[in-house]
Amino acid sequence: MNIDPITFAVIKNGLDTIVDDMAYTMMRTARSPIVRDVLDYSATICDAQGRILAQAKTVALHLGAVPDAMVVVVAEYGDDLDPGDVIILNDPYAGGMHLPDIFMFKPIFHNEILQGFAVVIAHQSDVGGRVPGSNASDSTEIFQEGLRIPPLKLYAKGKPDRSLFALLRTNVRLPDMLLGDLAAQLATCNVGERAFVKLLDKYGVETMGVYFNALLDYGERLTRAAIREWPNGRYQFTDYIDDDGFDQGPIPIDCTIEVQDDHLVVDFEGSSPQVKGAINCTLSYTKSSTYLGIRCALGREVPNNAGIYRCIDITAPIGSILNPRMPSAVAARALTGYRVVDAVLGALAEIAPDRVMAAGEGGNTVVCFGGYEGDSATPFILVDMINGAWGGRASKDGIEGVTNPSQNMSNMPIETLESRYPIRVETYGLREDSCGPGEHRGGLGLVRQYRLLADDAVLQLRADRAKIPPYGLRGGGPAAPSRNILDPDGRAEEVPSKITRNVRKGDVIRHEQAGGGGYGDPLIRDPDLVAVDVADEKISRKFAEENFGVVIQPGEAQPDLAATEVCRARLRS
């Protein structure tokens, strides 16, 4: 069948509209703040073979794991799928990523024949386990982390599985929240199903099949064309995680990218063996992080579909932190995924420097409080994800107060947080002098300070970049490292980046996030831009002089150009 370019564009944009409508549905109907306000969820449409046709502008790190999960679902059920079926899974060793992320698949039928899948992934506030939130970085095996769900039918031919619902309800701390978010996922799948069937009705199954293949071929063709412009060769970069909360680090993430004409081979040989703590990262998530890093260096015109995956081979040693053996703990695997993205971008910086930014804040920081309110014994679980800063770019500064490029998430509004939880946020703002210096400086990290108002709670922190700061590129400097401070206005105890500990009423925890690395020589940054940052209190006069060689006299708004020239000459020598 000949491909009509107008029909091709209409179908392509139609699929993009479907997944974006799914994303809006999830946001509007979700019950938990982590989904509705923080936006920790994803949506996609797959064809009958499980190949991604389009994905919403949601958490990108989720979606590269969908192909592996689809393989497990199809292998488990094969022809045993009917209209009205809904399948869920979260088992990291059976297609999932970590237990709080529950995948939902709804097979889409047209005239009783399977034509595709609507897929929604949402981070649940709690799925049981040893600590509230089911996301502790100091768990040591998967069995501590919560309820593991292999591929199971939540609905069969439209009828709910009462036993599975009862099992879920009984094993989590916030059953109404979990069941509410599962209902939102189902509503989102239904939106995708209805719109997808309308496309099938309009163009016909045979025609749509042809155009689905054409869409994937188009994605592959544009990806190969972009890679073909890159120089052949092997490019290597190593980044590090501070530690796993148990053993001293650093923990290396070693990435080698080999450009072979129009194909990439990405190998993580040399990365750390799997670790005791819960930062191990399943191979599906390693793949997802790698796809994302490479996608950042491709052009905007490349569609987000499975055609990209045909151009990239990814390997990681079995038993490594990027491909652990069962029963390794993986609850905090996102932290390692962020570092995979940073390592991939570091290698790509030698291949396509104009398309890669310096390291960002290291991925979001998770601050979790879990406990009970008053005499009512009503449980509460706050899972707050702090999204901070980008690194400097080839032609622009990094951005602050924004999600890491791998996430597309949001910081929870203070008003929402304080109205729902026994927590008061005492500080929320940009962290002065946290940016990496460069011709284009990195973004500033965030500061967020919490006071517990309940009698007691379990505090969990999952942070990084306290020992190994975000790197700069092309002569740019690293950003300031992160810090966690307990009782900052009292004894000011600095605590590790990965902890679980009990806290009591009135206790205060302050997180100072790392900034983004700088890009380019900081001694050639426009002095007027440095002066603007000083005036905005983003950097201090001392930082400006020591890192950019720009002198701004007290009481002055403009740089002292003569003194700046002398200072820069001294720093260069």
- Dump the DSSP string for 392-419: P-SSS---BSS--TTT---PPPHHHHHH
Query: pLDDT per residue over 313-334, tens digit each?
Result: 999 999 999 999 999 999 999 9
Q: What is the DSSP letter of 323?
A: B
In whole angstroms, what is the distance from residue 538 CA to residue 514 CA? 14
Q: Is the pLDDT of residue 284 over 90?
A: yes
For residues 286 and 290, give the distance between their C-alpha atoms in angstroms, rounded to a whole number. Answer: 6
Token code pair at residue 148: 């593991």
Q: What is the mean pLDDT of residues 112-135?
A: 96
> Would you place residue 196 in the very low, low, confident or very high pLDDT band (cuts 50, 70, 90)?
very high
Beta bridge partners of 200: none
Q: pLDDT per residue over 124-153, tens digit each?
A: 999 999 999 999 999 999 999 999 999 999
Residue with tokens 């205060």: 508
Over range 287-304, report the average pLDDT: 93
What confidence category does residue 289 fall into, taking pLDDT thresholds of 50, 70 and 90?
very high
**Which residue spans within 329-455 are E strands per DSSP?**
365-373, 378-386, 423-430, 446-452
Partnered with residue 423 across adjacent β-strands are 452
Q: In what order do the strands lie in the sheet with 41-47?
A: 52-55, 41-47, 113-123, 101-110, 86-89, 152-156, 159-160
Q: With 90 as the cut, is the pLDDT of residue 211 above it?
A: yes
pLDDT in tens, 367-391: 999 999 876 678 999 999 999 899 9
Is the pLDDT assigned to residue 237 strictly greater than 80? yes
pLDDT above 90 for 406? no
- Place 74 in a pLDDT band, splitting at 50, 70 and 90: very high
pLDDT value, residue 405: 81
Mean of pLDDT values over 291-304: 92
- Residues near 340 by Cβ (< 8 Å), separated by ≥ 6? 253, 255, 268, 281, 286, 289, 290, 293, 322
Task: Tell whether the model's pLDDT for residue 210 goes beyond 80.
Answer: yes
- 479: which 2 tokens? 């950003």
How large is the average pLDDT for residues 537-563?
95
Distance CA 66, CA 60 (A): 11
**Average pLDDT estimate for 160-189:** 97
Question: What's the half-sphere exposure (Cβ side, CA atoms, 13 Å) at 321?
Answer: 28
80-84, 465-469, 555-559: segment of lowest average pLDDT: 555-559
For 434, the 3-state DSSP assignment is coil
Residues forming beta bridges with residue 10, ordered by sequence position: none
| Residue 299: pLDDT band with limits 50, 70, 90 | confident
Q: What is the pLDDT of residue 286?
A: 96
The answer for residues whose C-beta is within 8 angstroms of residue 348's C-beta and 6 or more apart is 235, 257, 293, 294, 296, 297, 355, 356
Q: How far is CA 379 from CA 375, 456, 458, in A?
A: 11, 12, 12
Which tokens is 129 given? 């386990």
Per-residue pLDDT tens digits for 423-464:
999 999 999 999 999 999 999 999 999 999 999 999 999 999
What percent of the chain shows pLDDT beyond 70? Answer: 99
Quote the pTM value: 0.96
Position 497 pLDDT exceeds 80: yes
pLDDT for 336 beyond 90: yes
Residue 150 neighbours by CB distance under 10 Å: 14
pLDDT at 388: 87
Beta bridge partners of 257: 235, 266
The 3-class secondary structure across 21-55, one letter per residue, is: HHHHHHHHHCCCHHHHCCCCEEEEEEECCCCEEEE
φ, ψ of residue 473 to 5 degrees: the values are: -130, 150
